[in-house]
Amino acid sequence: FTSFLHLPGTSEEVAPPLQQSFMIPKKEINVVSDMAKWKRSQAYADYMGFILTLNEGVKGKKLTCEYKVSEPIEKLVALLNTLDRWIDETPPVDQPSRFGNKAFRTWYAKLDQEAEKLVATVIPKHLADTAPEVAVYLKESVGNSTRIDYGTGHEAAFAAFLCCLCKIGVLRVDDQMAIVFKVFNRYLEVMRKLQKTYRMEPAGSQGVWGLDDFQFLPFIWGSSQLIDHPNLEPRHFVDEKVVNENHTDFMFLECILFITEMKTGPFAEHSNQLWNISAVPSWSKVNQGLIRMYKAECLEKFPVIQHFKFGSLLPIQPVTS
């Protein structure tokens, strides 16, 4: 899976991708029968490879452990901090409907306008012509400004954004832990703030039958973090005390904490799927099951994937092995 995660080295050694002309990613999945094209595509193979590479990279590791933090990682965190600051500068407006606060559109318009500039701060000069392509995935990753909703398709766009940065050599193989623990974790914090501030609707949610209203990847990577933990077992994550004591170390528990803050009533009722998962005997079984579920419930669902965009970095062309 690591074929497209460039090996460590200085950025000067990485020549711009050869003969590659960058393009603005576009929609390619327009009807249900196009889904076969997606599953055979280079984009799907690279995306899934990226998710699984990171899944291995964080196995058994705490959020608070030591890991390398490169300059591009710092710049990505700064980019996310900017998005966070814009939320503070764009308070929700008074409106009759409780959900979908229209101030989100104002916040989004700012991102829409600034995305390329933000991405340019992360990308070295010799790769500047990739910014318009990569920026599309950043814009797609924060929710839909018409419907004021957010879901796993938007989350996938953020993972695709990071995957593109790996493909152009901005992020490297030794950035793996920082990609999940520093960048993706910061992204989650900003998304939770957006969801709370603007009361965003869940996009394509399966209600009580889904895993979570908004996210999926932190449950995959978060369960990998817990593999072979000496005393935390899957049955413990429904225990409030365990969650309160360990959430700063484990992404999975951080997700559970957020759910319990946002929802009322018995956990087994509002989060039935997670309740069922707490009965699985080991974290490695949970992790494998979630990867299967992610493919089936997110990546193989037309309502989610119809919005995915394809360009030169994540091409719709079939895999060339």
The structural domains of the chain, with segments of one domain joined by +, span 25-59+68-205+302-310, 207-295
Residue 320's pLDDT is what? Answer: 81
Residue 309 has pLDDT above 90, yes or no: yes
Rounded to whole angstroms, how far apart are CA atoms 188 and 261? Answer: 15
Angle at 16 between CA 171 and CA 315, to 5 degrees: 75
Give the closest residue to 80 by CA, choosing from 179, 201, 219.
179
Mean pLDDT of 72-101: 97
Which residue's structure tokens are 């008074």?
A: 94
In tens, the pLDDT along 238-276 reads 999 999 999 999 999 999 999 999 999 999 999 999 999
- Give the C-alpha separation, 165 to 157, whole Å: 12
The vertex-165 CA angle with 44 and 55, nearest 5°, equals 60
CA-CA distance, 277 to 297, in Å (whole number)? Answer: 15
> What torsion do the CA atoms of 195, 196, 201, 207 make, to the nearest 10 degrees?
100
Q: Is the pLDDT of residue 13 over 90?
A: no
What are the beta bridge partners of residue 310?
26
Adjacent-strand bridge partners of 27: 309
What would the pLDDT profile of 108-143 be if each residue is shown by its tens digit?
999 999 999 999 999 999 999 999 999 999 999 999
Contacts of 266 by beta carbon, 8 Å cutoff, 6+ apart: none
Q: What is the mean pLDDT of residues 146-167?
A: 97
The rounded distance, in Å, linking the Cα atoms of 144 and 200 is 9
Given CATH 3.40.50.620, say whether it is the number of domain 207-295: no
Reported confidence tier of residue 205, pLDDT bands at 50, 70, 90: low
pLDDT digits (tens, 9 = 90+) for 214-241: 999 999 999 999 999 999 999 999 999 9
pTM, full prediction: 0.94
Q: Give the per-residue pLDDT at 142.
A: 98
Kindly report the three-state secondary structure assignment for every residue of the chain: CHHHCCCCCCHHHCCCCCCCCCCCCEECCCCHHHHHHHHHEHHHHHHHHHHHHHHHHCCCCCCCCCCCCCHHHHHHHHHHHHHHHHHHHCCCCCCCCCCCCCHHHHHHHHHHHHHHHHHHCCCCHHHHHHHHHHHHHHHHCCCECCCCEECHHHHHHHHHHHHHHHHCCCCCHHHHHHHHHHHHHHHHHHHHHHHHHCCCEECCCCHHHCCCCCCCHHHHHHHHHCCCCCCCCHHHHHCHHHHHHHCCCCHHHHHHHHHHHHCCCCHHHHCHHHHHHCCCCCHHHHHHHHHHHHHHHHHCCHHHHCCCEECCCCCCCECCC
Closest CA to 238 of 210, 217, 215, 269: 269
Structure tokens at 178: 């920082």
Task: Report the distance separating Cα 226 and Cα 224, nearest Å.
Answer: 5
d(CA 123, CA 139): 16
